[in-house]
Amino acid sequence: MTEVLSQPRPIRLKGRSFLALSLTPELPFNEWLAGLDDLAARSAGFFLRKPAVLNLEGLNIDRAQLRGLVDELSKRNVRIMGLEGARASLLDADLPPAMFDGRPAADFEAPAVKEGQEPAAATVDETPVAVERGQPVPSMVVTQPVRSGQSLIFTEGDVTVVGSVASGAEIVAGGSIHVYGTLRGRVMAGTMGNSSARIFCSKLEAELIAIDGFYKTAEDLDPGLRGRAVQMWLEGDKIEAEQLG
Amino acid sequence: MGKVLVVTSGKGGVGKTTSSAALGAALAQGGAKVVVVDFDVGLRNLDLVMGAERRVVYDLVNVIKGEAKLTQALIRDKRLENLYLLPASQTRDKDNLTEEGVETVITALKKAFDWVICDSPAGIERGATLAMRHADVAIVVTNPEVSSVRDSDRIIGLLDSKTLKAEAGAEMEKHLLLTRYDPARADRGDMLKVDDVLEILSIPLLGIIPESMDVLRASNLGAPVTLADGQSAPAKAYFDAARRLNGETVSVSVPGEKRGFFGKLFGRKAA
């Protein structure tokens, strides 16, 4: 009897950013909630099943008030998945978790006013703001060898190492990774969900490489590429590699 | 003010204690006043290698705890009058080493000696980090095999981040001492080559100590190899390393090869 060994299924762990509705409540809350009710009345289910984040920046409230607001919102079927700009003193285990580093995206279009209805007091900016483009992409340059046990984590963009990356060292980058030296350690590029990130090195001896959550260990790498200058990229869910130069 | 030298490696059994004793004796024979401090609290060996195990009364922990004066704990070598040993405690554990205590002892030793050689324990825990904490110069002892090289790389990272010198923004002076090098095995490919080790660690080479029975024989005699048999190959290599520590330019020879390798090896200071 032969038993076919099934391929072990790796667990994929990676960062991913999602679009969420960001609500900015204003004091007094009952007036703001009334405006929200009005908005919801014009379009039943606008908030239904949409992830929403509460932006508390500049609001001077205490934890009880916040709890009350979250309760009021959940009565209206608005599920708050996170709090932005909240002071640490406001947070608690039964409240949604804090979220950081929010980036602006196109505004959600508010439901259009139905005919015969007065425009509501709560106005929502209906002209979508263009997604900011042309922002400089940050990068990190390291001019020393990355030693065993050291870990470089830079989720904002590219990492360039002028030197080698030792066995047992680790680089995690949101963008691409460039190693002008021997790559012996582990490198993970595109960890925030960037599938176009690439890995470049002057000499490939890596223990593990990963792009956007897909990884290959040294064993899975083409032995013909060992010791060579190589670039690696993702095509679909397959890591491709070719010799450079 | 003397210089504080830490002999470290990460991995155990690579020859830290042997090298500390041999370099200490070599530097002392050159006329310098030298003290070798054993930081391996709980697993002390330096006293055996230096043949002072029957003369230990007080130790480093006693001094740190204020139970003895520094002068009471220092043991003078019987063969070299300017070579001293500060033994570690065998019965206590490393938690007895405090940052302030070590600082006080090192500061006092620096005033009285030209060289304070700190023999680090293996590992990257308290004992090892305290041994390197006050160092001016570091010797990374490495065997030509992959696990030792990787551990050394880890230690170099710590030397560049956890020492007082590094925290003050200065560059820690680091040297590689390649020990137990067997040219025959390196030729067969059973061992890493000198070039490979240098390429991975990218720190300047202080010396290559050949694998030799003379080292083991000297340890069992209770004498540093540079005292037991000054004419043996490892002793000569240690003497050369000591001269390089003093700033002299001495060519490095790879055991088993005739020509000097200075230009190719010691000349390539990297990182």
Task: Answer whether CATH 3.40.50.300 is correct for domain B3-246.
Answer: yes
Provide the phi-psi class of A45: left if phi over 0, else alpha when psi is between -120 and 50, else beta: left
Cα separation, B269 vs B29, in Å, equals 28
| Token representation of residue A64 | 């009880």
What was the pLDDT predicted at A103? 65
Q: What is the DSSP letter of A73?
A: H
Residues 6+ apart with CB under 8 A from A119: A113
What was the pLDDT predicted at A116? 44
For B6-22, how does the pLDDT look when each residue is reduced to its tens digit (9 = 90+)? 999 999 999 999 999 99
Q: Which of A202-206, B24-28, B83-87, B261-265 has the lowest mean pLDDT?
A: B261-265
Cα separation, B35 vs B24, in Å, equals 7
Q: What angle do CA A120, A71, A109 make, to 5 degrees?
A: 35
What was the pLDDT predicted at B6? 97
Are the Cβ atoms of A148 and B154 closer than 8 angstroms? yes
Q: Which of A108-122, B40-54, B183-197 has the lowest mean pLDDT?
A: A108-122
Residues of chain A with pLDDT under 50: 111-132
What was the pLDDT predicted at B259? 43
- Tell the burial category of B35 from Cβ atoms under 10 Å away from its Cβ (0-12, 13-18, 19+): buried
Min distance B168 CA to chain A CA atoms (Å): 18
Q: Which of A166-170, B2-6, B105-109, B249-253 has the lowest mean pLDDT?
A: B249-253
Asked if residue B176 has pLDDT above 90, the reply is yes
Alpha helices, H only, chain B: 16-29, 46-49, 60-64, 70-73, 99-112, 126-133, 146-159, 164-167, 183-188, 194-201, 213-221, 225-228, 233-245
What was the pLDDT predicted at B35? 97
What was the pLDDT predicted at A65? 84
What was the pLDDT predicted at B144? 94
Asked if residue B188 has pLDDT above 80, the reply is yes
The domain ranges of chain B are: 3-246
Interface probe, candidates B145, B147, B150, chain A, greatest A C-beta count within 10 A: B150
Whether residue B16 is annotated as binding a ligand: the answer is yes
Average model confidence (pLDDT) across chain B: 90
| Token representation of residue B138 | 């570091």
Cα separation, A238 vs A61, in Å, equals 50
Min distance B154 CA to chain A CA atoms (Å): 5
* A97 against B210, higher pLDDT: B210
What was the pLDDT predicted at A228? 95
pLDDT classification of B241: cutoffs 50, 70, 90:
very high
* Helices B194-201, B146-159: inter-axial angle, 10-degree rounding: 30
Interface probe, candidates A147, A150, A180, chain B, greatest B C-beta count within 10 A: A147
Rounded to 5 degrees, φ, ψ at B99 are -60, -45
Ordered by where they begin, the domains of chain A are: 21-99 (3.30.70.260), 139-243 (2.160.20.70)
Chain A residues in contact with B157 by the CB 8 A cut-off are 147-150
* B116 against A11, higher pLDDT: B116
What was the pLDDT predicted at B209? 95
Q: Does A164 touch chain B (CB under 8 A)?
A: yes
For residues B205, B206, B209, B215, the Cα torsion angle rounded to the nearest 10 degrees is: -150
Neighbours of B111 (CB within 10 A): 10
For A66-106, how does the pLDDT look when each residue is reduced to its tens digit (9 = 90+)? 888 888 888 777 778 888 877 777 777 778 887 776 666 65
What was the pLDDT predicted at A134? 61
pLDDT classification of B138: cutoffs 50, 70, 90:
very high
pLDDT classification of B268: cutoffs 50, 70, 90:
very low
